[in-house]
A and B are shown apart, each in its own frame.
Chain A
Amino acid sequence: MTVGLNHFLVIGAILFVLGIFAMLSRRNVIAVLMGVELILNAANINFIAFTRYGGVNIGGQMAAIFVIVIAAGEAAVALAIVLNIYKNFKSVNPSEVDSLRD
């Protein structure tokens, strides 16, 4: 079976569900962020696959570039927030961070 659109889509789907699993089953905020990165990459793979096989033009790659930029911004802000949470709670476990005030 020659590699086609569906192969790319299935790899994207695998990355997506692994990202969801990582987000749901982690006790460390940074590991949750890794799950988010996996999900963003899954979306990018779909964009690229449809650019190549789906009959859309290069607009899919443009969308993927915007996704990458937003991922970079998200990682920076999220890491800053995580560092602050660690400073205030001495923990990065999302279940223990359950208070909005000191």
Chain B
Amino acid sequence: MFDIIFYIFGAITVGGALVTAFARNIVYAAFSLLFTFFGIAGLYIMANADFLAVTQLLVYVGGILILLIFGVMLTSRIGTVDIRVGTGSRWVAGIMALGLFAILCAAFFGTAATHTEKSADGKSQVVTSWATHATRPWSGSKWNQDATTEALKPKYGAPDEVKSNEGSSGTSVEIGTLFLTDYLLPFEVISVLILVSLLGATMIARKEPTKEEEAIAESVSV
């Protein structure tokens, strides 16, 4: 069941991304991006990242995608322009992308994953397992080394096979705690960054006042 749902979400994600990358019309590209973002939110849920999934929907679908569609509508004559480059450049881009994909896959399937594990006598040791094998889920994390895993063991087997996260309170509590403890400085820095970028965006995008408007503004201020 997990696998089937994963493949459905994966197909939605990849299909949307394919249309985004190959569509002739920019409006199709923008709207297929919607499906990609929804599929990715589904994948986040499959990977037990519930908070991230909601954030993905709010920020990407509700914010960035709307912004992109605004951009499309404010700049181009919709539906009349082919947005693809010439065939020659497309072939070069395609070959480069395929080569990159081959390198990445070679890296994924040729890498051994290591993780530390407590052996029977209580000493921790580094265990090497091939990445094709689903390595121990949730190991090394506070929020999942709770009683849930232990409690589910008789029902579902060893943690390797445990797929469900039922009984857990989700990741929001842990993420909120980390934001105000370990990640406080990055949190503050990034809030300043987003403030500056939003102010900068308004500065750049605002209309230059004409001479008459400037004169009016000055007379009002005086």
Enumerate chain A interface residues (CB-CB to B < 8 A). Answer: 2-11, 13-22, 24-28, 30-31, 33-35, 37-38, 41, 44-45, 48-49, 51-58, 61-62, 64-66, 68-77, 79-84, 86, 92
| Contact of B134 with A61 in the complex, beta carbons under 8 Å | no
| Contact of A66 with B93 in the complex, beta carbons under 8 Å | no
- Separation in Å of the A66 CB from the closest CB of chain B? 6
| Contact of B197 with A76 in the complex, beta carbons under 8 Å | yes
Given A55-B135, A62-B175, A70-B193, A3 contacting B3 (CB threshold 8 A): yes
| Contact of B40 with A76 in the complex, beta carbons under 8 Å | no
User: How many A-B pairs fall under 8 Å by CB?
Assistant: 249
Enumerate chain B interface residues (CB-CB to A < 8 A). Answer: 2-3, 6-7, 10, 13-14, 17-18, 20-21, 26, 29-30, 33, 36-37, 40, 43-44, 46-49, 51-52, 55-56, 59-60, 63-64, 67-68, 70-72, 74-76, 81-85, 89-90, 92-94, 96-98, 100-101, 104-105, 108-109, 113, 115-116, 131-143, 171, 174-175, 178-179, 183, 186, 190, 193-194, 197-198, 200-202, 204-205
A contact residues around B21 at 8 Å (CB): 18-19, 21-22, 25, 35, 38
